[in-house]
Structure 1
Amino acid sequence: MSLVTLADVLQPALKNGYAVAGLVTLGWEDMRAFVAAAEAENCPVILQAGPSCRAHTPLPVLGKMFRHLAEAASVPVVAHLDHGYTSDECREAIDSGFTSVMFDGSRKPLAENIAETRAIVEMAHSAGVSCEGEIGFVGYSGGENSAGTDPKEAAQFAVETGVDAMAISVGNVHLQQQDGAGLDEERIHAIQAITTVPLVIHGGSGVPMAQRTALARGSHICKFNIGTELRMAFGEALRDAVTRDPDRFDRVQILSETHDPVVAAARRVLSAFKGA
Structure 2
Amino acid sequence: MTDDRPRVLEIRHADSEPPGSYGPPLHDLADVTTLRIWREPAPTDLSGFDAIVTLGGAMGVGDAQRISWIADEIDLLRRALGLGIPIWGVCLGAQMLAAALGGDVYTSTDPEVGIHSVTLNDAAATDPVWGFAAGTALEPAAGTVPTEFDVVQWHFDTFTLPPGATLLASSAMCVNQLYRHGNCYGVQFHLEAGGQLVGEWLDSPGSRSLITETIGAEATDRFAADAADTESVTVPLARTVLTRWLSGLTRG
- Whether TM exceeds 0.5 here: the answer is no
| Greater per-residue helix proportion | 1
- What TM-score comes out, normalization by structure 2 length? 0.34
| Greater per-residue strand proportion | 2
Q: Which has the larger radius of gyration?
A: 1
- What TM-score comes out, normalization by structure 1 length? 0.32
